[in-house]
Every structure is written in structure tokens, then in C-alpha cells.
Structure 1
């Protein structure tokens, strides 16, 4: 089987995204399980007001990803590869059975609380298109020398799709410098914390300590990590990736590449949005990339089955 499931990270959320999940028994059961585990109705997490909270966003994304993964599994579409960008890695770990859903929810809530408390305001992420990682790093160092505040490479989503993290003023100064250097776009993302950089080192250490007794298992299929963009095959390695990925650059392009080079031919992105699908289509046009949020579940299942059948 050559199916890969991809799970988006913070910034993909949109108002009402949990209410737009497929009408499927597995989805309803997942929503009920999440609500019971957390002690509140998770369908309250996708309002405009709720989505101002990093905690609400990260829990909601995890619930949405697991719900759709379970709906696909119910239709006998079980992925060979599971990978998630940033907090999406938690849904990926549940998808490949390395982590129980309830444990993932509690760990995600703690992760988001630590991130939010570390830098409660004045920080975030900016996406830069059209410059390489080396160019971005060079501009970041120059910008830091000029304004005194560092920005960090947070995500390498594609060779010329880079996300940087830092304080608001530093991001604004960097964006101006990047556009002057030829970037096509420098756009702030809907993320209120400086993810995937050393500013979250202490928070990552706290999460690793807090989660040390959470049980992890050997994955079914292949789990592809964030930090190195490589397959992980044992429980301890997956635990370490999830506990610490907030402080390290997300090597999403490397993760994409290793899945495709290992045989993934159909990529399905869990809701919400289609950011990961668009990256895959641009970088690997020969691979079938599908955003589940843009298709009725029945049609998605039919397309995936047909694509997989063509590959066998």
C-alpha cells in the first residue's frame, strides 16, 4: 500500500472547521471520545473567539486529524506513512498507533499551554516565499544586527517556502528586508507563538519531563518525524520527537521527500485546509495529492481506492 496521511499544523485552522468534518460514525465517535477525555464539548473549539487560543487551535487540529484518519481506516484505507507538520505530528502518531488518542489530547493541551505561557503576546510566524533557506538565514542575521532581535528559521516547507519565527517587530523588519531581496511574499500567519525555535527550548524540556510516563508503542507503518524529516520506528524516538518538536525547525520538505522516495504515491491531507496538498502538488506533480476537506468523504475514498489500484 502506498498511501500517506498528512496532518496540518497551526495556521491551517478556520472558523467552523470541526463542524465541517464528514458525517461519519467514526468522526462522531472521535468527537465524543475527545469531549469525554477533555471534559468539555470539543465542538466549542472552532468559533472565532476560541481560535484566538493556541490551546483551542492545537486540540482542534488533533481532533480533526484523528477523526478523518479513523473514517478512512473504517473504509479500509490505512496509511503506510503518517506525518504531521508541527502539532499535526500528534495526529500522525495516533494514526499509526504509536500513541493513544486520549494521551495525545492531554499532551497537546499541555504543549499548547506551555507554548502560550512562554510567550503570551508579541510573537508569531511569517511565511516567506521565493527565497532559499540559506538566503533567509543570511537576511535574518543581517536583520538581527540592525534591529537587535533575532528571527529564526521555523519551517522549511519547500526549497523556497520558508517560515520564520520571532517577535512582532523583528518579523516586520525581516519581512521588509526579504521583500526587498526578491521574496514573492512575506505574510504573517495565524499563529501567536514563536514556534520551532530556541525561544521554546525551556517549554520543550518541560513537556518532555511532563510526558515521560505517557506510554508510546512501536508504530504500525512508518511515522515520519519533524526534526529530521526521517522515518522513526521505535516508541522512544517518536516520544522524543513529539515532546521536543516545538523547539526545532520543521523539515517538512525532507519528510515529503522521504515518503515519496520510499514509495508513497497517494497523499491525503487531513482537514482543515490544503496547505500541505498545495506544497505536494507544486514540488511533486507526479504524485496524487488530495485535500480531504475539499471533497465529500465518499468521493475521497473512491478516488484514493482508484489511485491505489492503478499503482498495484
Structure 2
């Protein structure tokens, strides 16, 4: 069983769309980038410049395009997923990969999502990654820091958790977390307070927009962000995509669920290899392949070898 994983915001780097597929890009990658540019009337290749990536809109759209382009190229090489999961914005790529929503509709809905997030908090907010504390310990840290606008956002691993909130509150949480024994507490390259109650209004508006889009029964299980469980109905995936910006992402639990479903290989879409590293800690006996600046044929051969196909 092959599970496709789609990374979230923070994995991007300048020029990552230009490096998809390695030194010899697959034809489907260029086609997908061109398709996205036509749908949104934007030159997608302009969105991965360092200055452009300061925009939440540019980052999120670029990540979706990178994921879908890679999926299509792998499919041309005969590699299909048996389950999909995406962290935060990565859920949109996962939904396209399991045929729950069209690429064009996902692009438009994601563009609105990113705009709502950016407009709600244009500055003064972000994310803090804390390593070495468990959820309950970090909740105690937040309370002791008297942080009025700081919330658990991503549970990436039992002791790797992301906090969302206002800059000043995140500074206090960082200070108290290190005093409480955290190994590391660092700000992420994300300028909005994702996955918390601060985005409640945005989630309501996005839910209204999603209600006007056609969703389909997924071809393979889609693991939800909010509940970390397999979703097999169109409306359930619609709700997950529309509301995941408002609720914490239980990524570690999602990884465990994929293992319980029988995943033999985790394939991480570009950019980066964060999800591969998290999966290695959670399920060391499951094979992993990160499609990071390697050719699609080489990646496909590696996936086949590790899945026994």
C-alpha cells in the first residue's frame, strides 16, 4: 500500500517550483504549472521567488501546484496512491490526488483560503515550533506564560508541537517553554496564526464558498486533518478542507492511522522532507521516499522497489 503525503506551509524555499522533477523535469510538471497559471491568471513560476514567498497566498498556491504536478508525473510512471494525507494546506493536494475535487476548484478555493488568512492577520502573528514537550505540558506553559493569544495548532509528533498566535505571546511561550525543558522553540516561516480559533470567521466564509463546489467520493481514503481518521464521503472532505484552518492538525495521529491501514511506503510530495522525517520517528519500519529534487522516473523506480511492486 502506497500513501501520498503532502507537506504544509513552512516547507517552501525560493525556487522550489523551478526544481520540481530534478535536472530533467517531467512533461506533466510543466503542463500542470501552465494549467494553474491559466486557471488563476497568474504566472505560477513567479510565485516561488524569495520576495513572493513572503505572501501566504503565493506559498499555499505554490505548494498545491507542486504536489499535484508531482502526483500526475508519478501516475504517468504507473505509481498510484492507495491513501492520501496532507498537513494543513497539503490537504488540498491530497483531496485532488484522491479525486475528491478538481484541480481547478481546489486552486480557486485555496486562493480564497489564503487570502482570508492573510487579510485577517496581515502582520503581528505567526507560528512557533516547540520540540521536547508533550501537549499537556505545552498547554501548561501557555497558561503560565499568560499568553492571551496563543493556541496549540499542529501536533506533528508527541513532542513536536506548533503553537499559533500573536508575536508577543509567542515570544513569552518560547521563553517559558525553554525554561520548562523544551529542547528547541523556533519561529516558522509562516506569517498567520493557522489552526486556531483566531481564524473562526475565515473558516465560516470558506465553508460557504466550499458549499458551492462539487466534491466527489474519493477514489482512495483521505485522512482528515481535524479528526485524523479516514474519510470516504465527499461532504466529509469538503468540511475538512473548509475548516482545517480553524482546528489543530493532528498529524502524528494521521500518520499512525496510515500505518494501521497497511501503508508500506510513504511518498512525500515536494518540497522538503519534513513529513518523511516525522514518519521515520513514528513508524520506522515503513519505507519512505521524499520526492525532493530527484527525477520522477528514479522516484517511481524507488517506490516500486520499496513497495515490492
Taking the aligned partners of 2:272 and 2:66, their CA distance within structure 1 comes to 11
Query: Is 1:59 aligned to 2:61, yes or no?
Result: yes
Match of 1:47 in 2: 49
Quote the offset at 1:211 in angstroms: 2.1
- Which segment drifts farther, 291-300 or 149-158? 291-300
Pairs within 5 Å for 1:1-312: 2-22=1-21, 23-144=25-146, 149-309=148-308
Quote the offset at 1:241 in angstroms: 0.2
Taking the aligned partners of 1:281 and 1:165, their CA distance within structure 2 comes to 25
Taking the aligned partners of 1:239 and 1:150, their CA distance within structure 2 comes to 28
Quote the offset at 1:45 in angstroms: 0.5
Cα deviation digits, residues 63-115 of structure 1 (max 9, x gap): 00000011111111110111000000000000000010000000010000000
Taking the aligned partners of 1:24 and 1:221, their CA distance within structure 2 comes to 25
Cα deviation digits, residues 146-168 of structure 1 (max 9, x gap): xx523100000011010000000
Aligned to 2:245, the other structure's residue is in SS state helix
Q: Could you list the runs of 4 or more consecutive aligned residues of structure 1 that deviate by over 4 angstroms after TM superposition?
A: none
Taking the aligned partners of 2:232 and 2:138, their CA distance within structure 1 comes to 32
Cα deviation digits, residues 158-197 of structure 1 (max 9, x gap): 1101000000010011001001111010010000000000
Quote the offset at 1:296 in angstroms: 2.6
**Structure 2 gap segments, 5+ residues each:** none
Cα deviation digits, residues 183-229 of structure 1 (max 9, x gap): 01001000000000000011000110122110000000110010011
Taking the aligned partners of 2:288 and 2:304, their CA distance within structure 1 comes to 13
Aligned to 2:222, the other structure's residue is in SS state strand
Aligned to 2:236, the other structure's residue is in SS state helix
**Structure 1 gap segments, 5+ residues each:** none
Aligned to 1:139, the other structure's residue is in SS state helix
TM-score by length of 2: 0.97
Aligned to 1:247, the other structure's residue is in SS state coil
TM-score by length of 1: 0.97
Quote the offset at 1:294 in angstroms: 4.5
* RMSD value, Cα: 0.9
